[in-house]
Chain A
Amino acid sequence: MSAPAFLTLDQVHKTYTLKTMFGPTKQVKALQDISFSLQKGQALALVGESGSGKSTCGRAVAGMFQIDSGKICVEGKPIATAHTSKEKRETARKVQMVFQDPFASLNPTHTVRHHLERPLKLHKRVPADSTLEDELHRTLTDVELDPAATLEKYPHELSGGQRQRINLARALAVGAELIIADEPTSMLDVSIRRSILNLMKRLKDERGITFLYITHDLATAHYLTENTAVMFGGRIVEYGPSDQIVRDPQHAYSKLLLSSVPSAKTKIDANFEHAKDFSNFADEVRKATAASTAPLASIGEGRMMRS
C-alpha cells in the first residue's frame, strides 16, 4: 500500500445484548471481524440487506458507540484514544454523517440558517478574513442551492432532495474529510436520486472528500464508489473493486444480490413453481452464508472473499 489510508478498520467486533421483555436475553453479533481501509478521496460502498450490519459499521466509524474489540483509525490515529475535548472535536469535525431520512434529520423548528450556523460556530470554522454570512453562502453554493432563497426557510418548505443537500452542506460546513452517507438517496424520489449522487461524486472528485457509502442498491454503489464490500450477518463476505464485483461476483450471496437487482432487459419468470424455487434458493444461500466462519481470503488483485 503506497499512501497511508485515511480510514482503517482492524478486526472490529460489536455484539449487542438484547433484553427482551419476555424470554432470555439474546446476543446479536452486529459486527464480526470487520477490517478494511479507505484511501483519501476514494469511496467505499457497504452493501447488504437490512440487518447485515452495514449501518452499524458506519455508526461505529462515526464514533456513535464503543466497539467491543478491534481498532478504528482515522489518519492513523485510533478514534477511541481521543481523550481531550479538542481531540474529540477534531475527529468529529473530520468524520461527518448524512442519514437516510431527510425528514427526520433536520429540526423542524429551526431554519436552514440555524442548521448551518451552529456547526460553523461550534467548530470555529469562520476564518479571520471572512464573515459568518460569507461562509453560509459559500457552503450553500457548494451543494448547488441558492443561498438567498434557502437560508431563511424551514425544513418543511424544502423538498427531500433539498433537505439532503442541506445535510451534506452541514457536513461540509465544518470541513468534513470523511462523509458517512447512510442510504442518502433511498427515501428520495427516483427523479432526484441521480442529482444527489452526482453531487456526492463531484465532491469526491473535485474536493477529495472520502465517502463511506452505505446502501442496498448495487447500481448506485457501482456508480459512485471505487470499492465495494458486500456484508451479510455482520461480516464482510466479499470485497473488491466495484466494477469487478458487479461484473464478476464470486461469493454466492453477492451473486444472489446482483441477480435480484431489477433490470429492464430481463422479464421475470412468471411461473408459480419457479417462484418457490427462487425463494428456497435465496434461503439456502442466506443459511450457508450465515453458517460459514471461513476467514476473508485473497482471491486476486485487490479482491477478497469468505469461502
Chain B
Amino acid sequence: MSEDRFLDVKGLEVDYMTLDGPFRAVKTVDLHINKGEVLGLAGESGCGKSTIAYALMRLHRPPAFISGGSITVDGEDVLAFDEETLNQWRWSKVSLVFQSAMNALNPVLTIFEQFRDVYHRHTGKSTAEARARAIELMGLVGIDPARLDDFPHQLSGGMRQRVVLANALILEPQMIIMDEPTTALDVVVQREILQEIAGLQAKFGFSILFITHDLALMAQFADRIAIMLEGEIVEVNDTQEIVNNPQHDYTKKLWEAMPSFDDTKGVA
C-alpha cells in the first residue's frame, strides 16, 4: 500500500505567531494521497484547510511556521529541501491552483508571458518552445490560442481559471493542489471547470488535493474526503461513506447546512 502513496503527511503542525503567543492553526494532521487519487478537504473558513495547502508547498512565510511533523512527496522529505531545490521542485512536481484567478495572474503580463515565465525559469527553453507548449495547453483547456496575447482582464472569470489551470499543468506535475478553484464562479461555469479538471485528471492521471467548502461539489468528484474542524481532521473516508453514512457530528452538520432540492418547503 504505502509505495502507492504519493503524498504522506504525518503529524503536521503549523503555528502562527501572534502577540499573544503562537496560535496552532493545524494540529497534528495525518493524511495521505495515493498516485492518481483525488482527495477532497472540506471545512468552514478558518479551519486551516488553506494553511495545509500552503504547508505542502512550503509557501509559509513568518509569522507562520511549520513546527512539527513530516511531509513526504514521492519518497522525498519536503521539509528538508533547501531554497534552490524547493524552487525547482515546486511546479514541476506539485503545482497549486488558487481560488481567485484574477489574483493568481499578473495583470500587467499577457497570458503568454505568464506561461513563458514559469516555463523558461524551470526548463531554460526558448521563447519559441514556450510558445508551442502554451498553444498546446490552451487547446487542452479549450481556449482559442489566439487569446495568448491578451491580458488577464480581457478574459472572463471562467477563462482566467482555465488559464491558471493550464499554467499549473505546464511542467506536467504529478500532483495539483486546488484551493477552492471554482468558488468565485457561476454554477454553469463552475460545472464546466470541474468537468475540465476531471477530464484532465483522467487523461494525465495526476493526484489532486481538492479544497472547498462545498461538500456536494466535492462528492461529485473526489475519491476520498477529509473533513476538517478547527485545525484537526475529524473524519476521513471514501466519498460514498461520507455522503451516505457520515460518522462525525460535524460532518452531519455540514451536510445539513446546505439546502438541497430535496428539502421540504415550509420547515424552518
Contact = CB atoms under 8 A, between A and B. Distances in A.
Interface residues of A, number: 45
Contacts of A276: 142, 199
Grouping DSSP codes into helix (H, G, I), strand (E, B) and loop, the A interface class, with mixed when no group exceeds half, is: helix
Interface stretch (B25-33, B87-95, B260-268): B260-268
Between B191, B194, B201, B203, the greatest number of chain A beta carbons within 10 A of the residue's beta carbon is seen for B191
A189 to B, nearest CB: 5
B127 to A, nearest CB: 27
Contacts of A267: 220-221
B189 interface: yes
B77 interface: no
Contacts of B44: 189-191
A272 B192 contact: no
Contacts of B217: 262
Between A217, A257, A264, A278, the greatest number of chain B beta carbons within 10 A of the residue's beta carbon is seen for A264
Interface stretch (A58-66, A193-201, A298-306): A193-201
Given A189-B213, A272-B199, A279-B192, A260 B261 contact: no
Given A189-B44, A257-B188, A194 B258 contact: yes
Contacts of A264: 215-216, 219-220, 243
Interface in B169-205: 186-192, 194-196, 198-203
B254 interface: yes
B144 interface: no
A223 B195 CA distance: 27
Contacts of B142: 275-276, 279
Grouping DSSP codes into helix (H, G, I), strand (E, B) and loop, the B interface class, with mixed when no group exceeds half, is: helix
A11 interface: no
Interface of A: 49-50, 189-194, 197-198, 201-202, 205, 216-220, 222-223, 243, 246, 256-257, 259-276, 278-279, 282
Interface of B: 44-45, 142, 157, 186-192, 194-196, 198-203, 213-217, 219-221, 243, 253-254, 256-261, 263, 265-266, 268
28 contacts: A49-B188, A49-B189, A190-B44, A190-B213, A191-B44, A191-B254, A193-B258, A194-B256, A194-B259, A197-B259, A201-B268, A205-B268, A218-B261, A220-B259, A222-B263, A223-B263, A256-B188, A260-B187, A260-B191, A262-B191, A263-B261, A264-B219, A268-B220, A269-B198, A270-B199, A270-B201, A275-B195, A279-B142
